[in-house]
Amino acid sequence: MQLLISVAGPAEAHAALRGGADVIDAKDPRHGALGPVSLQRLAAIRTAVAGARPLSAAVGDATSEEAVAGAVAAALSVGVAFVKLGLAGVTSEARAGRLAVAARRAVEAAMVTRLVLVAYADWPSAASLPPARVVAVAADTGAAGVLLDTATKRVPLFGVESPAAVAAWVAAAHAAGLFAALAGGLSGPDLARALSLGADVVGVRGAACVGGRTGRVSRARVAALRALAGAAPSLRVPIGRGALPQRDVKLAEIVGRDDEVFHAVRERA
């Protein structure tokens, strides 16, 4: 299982890298579950990561197709391997599909960037779709993976959903050809549980920080979490939907070629 550490800036990115994080995720924890960082901060984080690990970026919760396309395009101009899009406030599966398609179209030109749709375990509080329906939307719109998170951060994931329900959600994601990530106030003991439930990725912020979720990422805490996450096999990401031939691609492939592709994207911008 791979360990994703959410960072708010380049110093935290360095700490996460030195601690052994498998994926570096850029987000601003002061602005909710998927608060995006500024483009300047995202560029600084990318420079700090320097291609050593895949970089993902939270682009917030979808509000309109135009806003989604703009937010995704902005992240792509800096260069990321994954964009995470939430659906808080979206209760119609048809509308969720349109928003996801807008995001998917924005990432298609980048070739190495993949879309991850975020489901909220506390979906009534987020006025969002139930997690199972987000899996269906992700599969229908060609996303690479899904993340089960919490929107309010008042109660951790396993305080909202039972392990059996999370295991069923992970299995449904895998059956749909998606990778499955878990997050939402997870701490050390939760990582073994997430691993046992078949999660491909576990995302952590608060447990990796000194001073809680809005504190600073600690190298030592990341290292301890990395040990608890178990082995970190290459995450295989399906890319065969749409214009590309059906096959799997390892995250290492994405990292190995993203500089060339993203340079070309920036040159066209």
Q: Which residues are catalytic?
A: 27, 84
Q: Where are the alpha helices (DSSP H) in the chain?
A: 10-19, 39-49, 65-78, 93-108, 123-126, 131-141, 157-160, 163-175, 188-196, 219-228, 251-268
Is 136 exposed, middle or buried (CB count within 10 Å of its CB: 0-12, 13-18, 19+)?
middle
Phi, psi of 56 (to 5 degrees): -115, 160
**Angle, to 10 degrees, between the axis of helix 65-78 and the axis of helix 93-108?**
30
For 253, the token pair is 């492939």
CA-CA distance, 165 to 181, in Å (whole number)? 14
DSSP-derived pairing of the beta strands 145-149 and 114-120: parallel
Q: Are 138 and 145 in contact (CB under 8 A)?
A: yes
> Quick one: angle between helices 65-78 and 39-49, nearest 10?
40
